[in-house]
Structure 1
């Protein structure tokens, strides 16, 4: 069975237009959401400015193509949103990823903040770094330092990149959990093993939009 695919869409908005972009999106994005399933929509709070991220789920590349092909024909979507929003966008990045086999997508039970941690591993794929990385993530999860939402391995975009999406009640609880993890010998040992395969890491704090399914 072909695994579900997840599309990460990151938009950089012109700074002077961020407030207008947010208002327009809050009022009209439901039109796009009626076409296919969106996991979540977030605004960057820390780790980047004037950026938004939305993640979409598709059954296959054929499913994605079918959905995307209908959007230009959607008059309401084009007139109420696309035509107005295009001048506000400075940059757009798209990646396609799969959930790693040992992770299931978990929707948080209540509202909070999200942390997207993006790891760039050395070439070779999960066959090289997979087990060490799994051990490091599992140690964090088992000790409840944060709630794991999903782990995505990039298929299109930068290869050997993994996005880990975490949920916390707020930014302070995230900071407290991180401090405890750094003092946990089990976490330290697992991380020390996995970083041998790591080239870089980027952390971003995300705030869910009012219409985001994952809050």
Structure 2
């Protein structure tokens, strides 16, 4: 795991230079691939219009880079959509963003119509931990942080975990490191590769 914090000034560094440090507790990532998680808040009265627009024109966007998944929030955060893109490195992302800015169909058919429907956008970068991989679930279901067959299947799994003394102990030991937590129940849109 890697903890990222803003640089701090150290009294031991001359001229107030910043000190940057990272801490790895396991194997380091072997390549530069990363995932961009984009979250859009959609105007409440415009969610249906936004989803229709995505269903009609999102093939123009997926022609430029790999879409991992695209979901709308069902519970926990209303009128949000979340989509995840894979990039080989930051140069790849820069090239894709440049190509999108010059794609007249994407700009004219999707972006110009979508922007008035959105309230705000947020994006984050995530890397896979070395022991993790992204794969397609064996059948369609619901994505929460983990894939589940249904919301009831997730609830049963959570209930079972809360009765497991090992899980309870692990949560108790790690909760002091938690600064915030948000949960959303995400439902895949038709264009989402992960269902």
TM bracket, shorter-chain basis = 0.7 to 0.9
Task: Please list every run of 5 or more consecutive structure 2 residues that lacks an aligned counterpart in the other structure.
Answer: 1-29
Aligned equivalent of 1:52 = 81
Task: Please list every run of 5 or more consecutive structure 1 residues that lacks an aligned counterpart in the other structure.
Answer: 116-164
Aligned equivalent of 1:85 = 114
Equivalent residues in 2 for 1:84-163, closer than 5 Å: 84-115=113-144
Deviation at 1:79, TM superposition (A): 1.4
Deviation at 1:199, TM superposition (A): 1.8
Q: Separation in 2 of the partners of 1:187 and 1:26?
A: 40
Deviation at 1:192, TM superposition (A): 1.4
Q: Deviations over 1:26-84 (max 9, x none)?
A: 11101100110010000001110110000000000000000110112111111111111
Deviation at 1:102, TM superposition (A): 2.2
Aligned equivalent of 1:40 = 69
Greater strand content: 1
Larger Cα-atom Rg: 2
Q: Deviations over 1:100-138 (max 9, x none)?
A: 1221222212111111xxxxxxxxxxxxxxxxxxxxxxx
Count of residues in Structure 1 that have an aligned counterpart in Structure 2: 166
Q: Which runs of 4+ in 1 moved over 2 A?
A: none
The DSSP-based 3-state class of the residue aligned with 1:106 is coil
Q: Separation in 1 of the partners of 2:52 and 2:98?
A: 26
The DSSP-based 3-state class of the residue aligned with 1:104 is coil
Q: Separation in 2 of the partners of 1:35 and 1:73?
A: 11
Q: Separation in 2 of the partners of 1:74 and 1:54?
A: 20
Aligned equivalent of 1:184 = 164
Greater helix content: 1
- TM-score when normalising by structure 1: 0.75
The DSSP-based 3-state class of the residue aligned with 1:200 is coil
Q: Deviations over 1:156-187 (max 9, x none)?
A: xxxxxxxxx31000001111111111011121
Deviation at 1:3, TM superposition (A): 2.8
